[in-house]
Amino acid sequence: MAVPVWSVDPRTGKQREQVAVEATAEEIDAVVRAAAAAAPALADRIVRARLLRTAADFLEEAGPRILEAADAETALGPGRLTGELGRTTYQLRAFADIVDEGAFLDVIIDHADPSLAPPRPDLRRYKIPLGVVAVYSASNFPLAFSVPGGDTASALAAGCPVVVKAHPDHPATSELCADALRRAAVAVGLPVDVVAVVHGFEAGVELVKHPLVSAAGFTGSVRGGRALFDAAAARPVPIPFHGELGSLNPVVITEAAAEERAEQIGAGLAGSLTLGVGQFCVKPGLVLAPEGEAGDRLLKSLTGAVSDAPAGTLLDARMRDNFIAGVRERAELPGVQAPVEPGDGGEHLVRPGFVSVPAARLTEPGDYDALLEECFGPVTVVARYATPGELEAVLGRLPGNLTATAHISEAEASGDGPGADLLARLTPLAGRVVVNGWPTGVAVAPAMHHGGPYPATTSTSTSVGGTAIERWLRPVVYQDAPAALLPTELRDDNPLGLPRRVDGHREA
Amino acid sequence: MAVPVWSVDPRTGKQREQVAVEATAEEIDAVVRAAAAAAPALADRIVRARLLRTAADFLEEAGPRILEAADAETALGPGRLTGELGRTTYQLRAFADIVDEGAFLDVIIDHADPSLAPPRPDLRRYKIPLGVVAVYSASNFPLAFSVPGGDTASALAAGCPVVVKAHPDHPATSELCADALRRAAVAVGLPVDVVAVVHGFEAGVELVKHPLVSAAGFTGSVRGGRALFDAAAARPVPIPFHGELGSLNPVVITEAAAEERAEQIGAGLAGSLTLGVGQFCVKPGLVLAPEGEAGDRLLKSLTGAVSDAPAGTLLDARMRDNFIAGVRERAELPGVQAPVEPGDGGEHLVRPGFVSVPAARLTEPGDYDALLEECFGPVTVVARYATPGELEAVLGRLPGNLTATAHISEAEASGDGPGADLLARLTPLAGRVVVNGWPTGVAVAPAMHHGGPYPATTSTSTSVGGTAIERWLRPVVYQDAPAALLPTELRDDNPLGLPRRVDGHREA
């Protein structure tokens, strides 16, 4: 009995249309086999780059329809979604450039050296694609972290076919994007099955267990991600599982920073925590602000700015229920104040807000532990610290994070005082350390790292930026392979002009 | 009640001396805490490089005692062990050079670009050490893959303190090496606890579960390695587990190669499979040789050479029992021949040999599956194929391997015939593809890759060669960090002269 997959409008709770049906185990098997059969066609890097660029073109062409569907399914709004489509096509083209350049192949050549003891053979190493990659779409980025998103782009760039498990919050968008990607494959002469999309929770579990799936990328909750991570690790042949699961994204505001610009920081924090109705994985979820007059001013500014923020629609009704229950649980703890109480904002809406608590309540395990857990949606926890010891005690209790942010004064930024120590203290907690800014907004750039200690990610990898391609590759070395049989990438004359390291020396 | 750890002479089965006691859970906790406390001292790369070089010096100074103990405990012989000590000190110094050069830091800098939409902040990324690394020593390399081996050297190079779980086959050697490493730490002004050694099976399990252990390296059996891998994955905070578990190391001999040099290949194979009494993880365990006259000549040559090989001593009595049982199980299968029957070679000895079977028996799952499993010790399985289809069917059934080897003719090496196709066919099976040579002998070189699809390794990493350092690092990026607070490695003026990528361009 086919289980229907509906597109739902979160602004009304109404079903829009039936988009697909959930894939059965047999269907997953067929899709994965087709993807695996398409893998050899992706060996040609020139075609891969063309696929990525054509996919970007086709997504832009289909842009109006995609944006309309995405807005109707996610309520994220046309402005945000237009930006996200731009991010998505930019990513695809950036990975095409990365494919062209070929540095990711990590070519290392050591010529034979018979003078060594023992004599060294000729060794030529580069990286090859792992095979079929399973991608689990995010709820909160229907484009940039979903069907045509960074995981898909980086896996295709690496030469891996992709089977995407669509997120149930945006199945229609997923189908439209899949159509663009698959048409792009055909247009550049690749098998259509280099990308496929499936729907259904059970389908996702089947997918990660399939013997022909070689790696997985995931963006979502700790609960769902950990279950899939466990399934990946428990396979007869375990596979790499690159999951981004959850992050509190702590922000530390020094006394001097609060004294210098309390109002500006309060307003900036309000903007960051309410952006996209608080539905970013890098939303600041815990803010360590000083007790005292400057901290009070900061909270006053935050209160004003958050009070001005409109109610918004979360991605689905379950998230709304969880948000309302989550903020209530936090606000009801003794000693917790809610200057702007977050919660139910009327039918299908939620109200942004924040709670405040003395940091002293968070320094030991106990009833207040919920305040150190991510709450998805437009809320943050402000913990007021009275001493450096309290600040340190709270930091010492934090799990891994995608980001950690420091707000410091001008003098501290120039090297006076605890600025450097604070950065050093935040570094073990996160994959990105932000100074005097906000963690929301993740630039797509070569240096970007979007990942961090568990549960931020389940591996040491990034899902944003050029190095995301490294997740889908493994090295192989050829020993004494005759020149006539070598892959072109490993030939002495370097006809592809690849950056490489030869006999210990880098060649640009 | 303390459990004693004995050094045993495998040539006699006699206990030599009590070396230590097994570590209790409390002792593991204390050792790991001390290692974690020593981590900040390893942040200085200059001191790390000095530690590695001093360790090499001290190991050489202690060489005579170490070699005597190692030979007495492992029966590997002074020649082999002297070579292994050289490999070990070479590795330590090679990693010191890698630390000096700093390419492993993988510095990427993107300056702020306000002209982009959205504007790009200043981003500066490099890699930092993960924390305490647990290393599980190999039985068969008491030096180069044990206490002072590649895992330890690469982890220290990365800036990670190391706790080694010694292998029970060479506890005295482990203690002597630990002493050299710990004296080296003190000599360069580091806390002694940057390296520690513990003994005991249960201690090893405790170690991988300890909250302050951040990653693990392992060389050993599929059974032991998988149990530890599972424990690492099941932790509340899972950690990377880089295990090298097992490998069949298939060898394919083409008809033309056999016709060209059957005798040479047979003799070479005998040398490779009996080297070190067959106790290498890259020992060729399955040889696909053609049916027919040329293949017969090859087997005749192999028979003669293996018959000439002396009986030898395996690392311990359990391995000897397993070897004798394993070769008997294989030789007793109907249709399996044993031209030189391997097995019991007299008290404490084993006899090298090989078995031969029609490849047609191996093309489907069934009674002959044992022939596709690694058997540790001086034995190989020669499968005679009659057609390319049989060859392909057997290759299609193989698990992942560290190596795959092709023997091809001169004409095939120059591009005529199936040479390139054969290399392409072997590539998915292994991390190293050897042509017209033997997999035994793993050069320590920048391009080396010692790893492969599961169960060869549990990750995509290598445990030999310069890139082994990548296992113990994770990236972190600083966003808009003031110049005065940046780590030296990320400063614009590059005072350390690090290779890096700035605004998309590589700087040597």
Closest chain B residue to A456, measured at CA: B237
Q: Across the interface, do A484 and B420 touch by the CB < 8 Å criterion?
A: yes
Per-residue model confidence as pLDDT tens digits over A123-148: 999 999 999 999 999 999 999 999 99
**Distance from the Cα of residue B192 to its chain's centroid:** 26
pLDDT given at position A35: 98
**Distance from the Cα of residue A182 to its chain's centroid:** 23
Contacts A447 to B, Cβ<8 Å: 108-110, 123-125, 477, 501
To the nearest whole percent, how much of chain B has pLDDT over 90? Answer: 97
pTM of the model: 0.97
- pLDDT value at A508 more than 70: no
Closest chain A residue to B417, measured at CA: A485
- Pick from A229, A414, A475: CB nearest B431: A475
Least Cα distance to B158 among B139, B131, B184, B178 occurs for B131
Per-residue model confidence as pLDDT tens digits over B330-362: 999 999 999 999 999 999 999 999 999 999 999
Per-residue model confidence as pLDDT tens digits over B167-182: 999 999 999 999 999 9
Q: Across the interface, do A479 and B446 touch by the CB < 8 Å criterion?
A: no
Average pLDDT over residues A394-401: 98
- pLDDT value at A262 more than 90: yes
Dihedral angle computed from the Cα positions of residues B395, B398, B399 and B400, in that order, rounded to the nearest 10 degrees: -30
To the nearest whole percent, how much of chain B has pLDDT over 70? Answer: 100
Q: Across the interface, do A400 and B481 touch by the CB < 8 Å criterion?
A: no
Q: Across the interface, do B485 and A423 touch by the CB < 8 Å criterion?
A: yes
Q: Across the interface, do A447 and B482 touch by the CB < 8 Å criterion?
A: no
Give the gap in angstroms from C-alpha B338 to the nearest C-alpha of chain A: 31
Closest chain B residue to A474, measured at CA: B460
pLDDT given at position B508: 66
- Tell me which residues of B are annotated as active site: 244, 281
Name the packing angle between helices B45-61 and B78-101 (round to 10°): 170
Structure tokens at A433: 């350390």
pLDDT given at position A369: 97
Q: How far apart are CA B4 and CA B2, in angstroms?
A: 6
Chain-wide mean pLDDT for chain A? 97
pLDDT given at position B303: 98
Per-residue model confidence as pLDDT tens digits over B251-267: 999 999 999 999 999 99
To the nearest whole percent, how much of chain A has pLDDT over 90? Answer: 97
pLDDT given at position A418: 87
Chain B interface, mutation test: which of A125, A414, A490, most B Cβ atoms within 10 Å?
A125
Chain A interface, mutation test: which of B218, B239, B423, B474, most A Cβ atoms within 10 Å?
B474
**Which domains are present in chain B?**
21-98+129-245+459-473 (3.40.605.10), 250-435 (3.40.309.10)
- Pick from A423, A467, A473: CB nearest B481: A423
Structure tokens at A6: 């509906």
Q: How high is the ipTM of this complex?
A: 0.97
Average pLDDT over residues A216-228: 97
Give the gap in angstroms from C-alpha A341 to the nearest C-alpha of chain B: 31
Q: Across the interface, do A475 and B130 touch by the CB < 8 Å criterion?
A: no
Dihedral angle computed from the Cα positions of residues A361, A365, A370 and A375, in that order, rounded to the nearest 10 degrees: 100
- Pick from A121, A437, A446: CB nearest B443: A121
- pLDDT value at B416 more than 90: no
pLDDT given at position A105: 98
pLDDT given at position B507: 84
Per-residue model confidence as pLDDT tens digits over A43-56: 999 999 999 999 99
Give the gap in angstroms from C-alpha A201 to the nearest C-alpha of chain B: 22
The Cβ of residue A176 has, within 10 Å, a number of other Cβ atoms equal to 23
Per-residue model confidence as pLDDT tens digits over A423-462: 999 999 999 999 999 999 999 999 999 999 999 999 999 9
- Tell me which residues of A are annotated as active site: 244, 281
pLDDT given at position B417: 85
Give the gap in angstroms from C-alpha B256 to the nearest C-alpha of chain A: 16
CB B13 within 8 A of CB B118: no
Position A416 confidence tier, pLDDT thresholds 50, 70, 90: confident
User: B86-116 burial, b if ≥16 CB within 10 A, otherwise e?
Assistant: bbbbbbbbbbbebbebbbbbbbbbbeeeeee
pLDDT given at position A158: 98
Position A118 confidence tier, pLDDT thresholds 50, 70, 90: confident
Q: How far apart are CA A483 and CA A312, in angstroms?
A: 63
Average pLDDT over residues B147-165: 98
**Strand B132-136 relative to strand B162-165, pairing:** parallel
Give the gap in angstroms from C-alpha B432 to the nearest C-alpha of chain A: 5
Per-residue model confidence as pLDDT tens digits over B73-122: 999 999 999 999 999 999 999 999 999 999 999 999 999 999 988 899 99
Chain B interface, mutation test: which of A436, A485, A507, most B Cβ atoms within 10 Å?
A485
Angle at the Cα of A501 from the Cα atoms of A498 and A503, rounded to 5 degrees: 135
Please, which residues have CB within 8 angstroms of residue A367's CB and are 6 or more apart in sequence?
Answer: A333
Chain B interface, mutation test: which of A450, A459, A477, most B Cβ atoms within 10 Å?
A477
- pLDDT value at A411 more than 90: yes
- pLDDT value at A103 more than 80: yes
Q: How far apart are CA A212 and CA A206, in angstroms?
A: 11
**Distance from the Cα of residue A64 to its chain's centroid:** 25
Residue B380 pairs with which residues in a beta bridge?
B354
- pLDDT value at B1 more than 80: no
Q: Across the interface, do B478 and A110 touch by the CB < 8 Å criterion?
A: no
Q: Across the interface, do A482 and B449 touch by the CB < 8 Å criterion?
A: no
- pLDDT value at B297 more than 90: yes
Structure tokens at A93: 């083209």
Give the gap in angstroms from C-alpha B51 to the nearest C-alpha of chain A: 22
